[in-house]
Amino acid sequence: AGVMAAAALQRVADVEIDDGGAFKYVLLRVRPRAHGASEPGKEVVRGHGWAEYHADIYDRVASELEPQGFDCECLGGGRISHQSQEKKIHVYGYSVGFGRANHSVTTEKLKAKYPDYEITWADEGY
């Protein structure tokens, strides 16, 4: 089951964010809900402008992934400013409900998806 779980986890995108603008994001840990799953899982980044609250993003991702056999845990949130024309992304702020995500983890994920971008982060700002 471990191999299948790992393969299924590969299909979950590491990063899904809007193409541009400033929006809320959450950092989630996704794990296969296998029997005795000691799987560490992986962190994924989700950021969308339609979300009024960080919980809106979390709820949507959890409702998509849980029927596929995954558990989701929110590790925190913040905001992302995505300037696609300038190829710049800035990660900042926090979530009132979930606390501040580890922006350095988020930044590493974003760098993997957008290798030609300038990606920065800061703890200040809301």
Contact criterion met (CB below 8 Å) for 117 and 88:
yes
In order, the DSSP letters of 31-92 are EE--TT-----EEEEEEETT-SSHHHHHHHHHHHHGGGTEEEEEEEEEEEEEETTTTEEEEE
- Is 35 designated active site? no
Cβ atoms within 10 Å of 116's Cβ, excluding its own: 6
| 116 vs 119: CA distance, rounded Å | 9
On whether 24 is known to bind a ligand per the annotation, the reply is yes
Given 54, 82, 90, 103, the catalytic residue = 54
Q: Which residues are annotated as a binding site?
A: 24
- Active site (catalytic) residues: 54
Q: Which residues are annotated as a binding site for substrate?
A: 24
